[in-house]
Structure 1
Amino acid sequence: MARFVLTRRSPLPPAVCWERLTAWPRHGDRVPFTRVGVARGTGREVGDVVLARTALGPLRFDDPMEIVELSVPGPGRDGLCRLAKRGRPVRGGAVLRVRAVEGGSEAVWAEELLIAGLPWFLDPLVAGAGRLVFGRVLDRLLRA
């Protein structure tokens, strides 16, 4: 399984950082050939499903992610969103966390990916690509 963790500091207050991090359609703005939206619910509650749909010519696949844990940041409380990947081609999960730090907030994006059909020895390449692509997403979402 490919694993990576991204950490970014932002001058944004935690509530604003959280709103941006959980603005699901904006995630697709920086992921090539991918659109992201909410397939079930509002995208703000446990049980809701966020859907990333990737299409490049005839190659198409869906990456449905169910919100299995959610806590909005508040006084003395970090924001946390745990997503479980429920699709066939992509399994694993992601954890998005926002915490208050002096001068703003810190966002952490941790992901575990298992891509069907790819051998385990390609996990470092998948993790590197994930760090690159999702790092760009995180940087754009948190731009002040």
Structure 2
Amino acid sequence: MPGIRIVRGSSMPPYEAWTRLTDWERHGAQVPFTRTSLHTAPPTRVGTRFTAVTGMGRFVVNDVMEVTVWRPPLGRAPGLARLEKRGRLVHGWAEIEVRPAADTGSEVHWREELRLFGFPRLLDPLVAVAGRRLFGRAVDRLLAPGPAGTGGGRGAARGDRGEPTGTAEGQ
């Protein structure tokens, strides 16, 4: 299973970053050819289920997910959401952790292990590179300045001088 690790810094307080990153329906707007549908009424909690459908025409992939850990940030305590991937083609898990930054703002850790049924393990490095780019872009857009989760800005979350503040490990 290829591992994907993304770390980003944001000037947003942890709860605001958390709210943007866990708005499941907005995820689809950040990933090309993807839409997300909820199967469980809000608010999100352990047991919430949703599907991200990616593709065009007859070729689509359903990424069925269930929230198995739901712990929003509170004060200086980090937030953690864990999603188990339970689809026919996509297996594995994802974790979104939002920590208070040392000074102000927050630090986001996105961890994901995924397996695509039918893909040979030989292609795992390619899947990992594509996943880091795809999920890194989604995180950047969800944390971008502008209306919550709209990807209102371009590029990564930025520091005061406009420099990227995060990394996608292994890129």
TM-score bin (small chain):
over 0.9
Instruction: Name the counterpart of 1:96.
Output: 96
Contact 1:46 1:67 in 2 (8 A): yes
The TM-score with structure 1 as length reference comes to: 0.96
How many corresponding residue pairs? 144
Q: CA deviation at 1:43?
A: 5.4
Distance 2:51 2:137 in 1: 19
Q: Say which structure is richer in strand.
A: 1
The TM-score with structure 2 as length reference comes to: 0.81
Give the % identical residues: 45
What is the 5 A alignment of 1:1-144?
A: 1-42=1-42, 44-101=44-101, 102-144=103-145
Contact 1:24 1:43 in 2 (8 A): no
Distance 2:93 2:42 in 1: 19
The runs of at least 4 consecutive aligned structure 1 residues that moved more than 3 Å come to none
Q: Could you say if the C-alpha distance between residues 43 and 94 of structure 1 is closer, same or farther in structure 2, counting changes exceeding 3 Å?
A: farther
Distance 1:67 1:39 in 2: 12
Distance 1:80 1:18 in 2: 9
Distance 1:122 1:43 in 2: 37
Q: Which runs of 5+ in 2 are unaligned?
A: 146-171
Q: CA deviation at 1:57?
A: 1.3
Distance 1:64 1:42 in 2: 17
Q: CA deviation at 1:130?
A: 0.4
Distance 1:51 1:42 in 2: 14
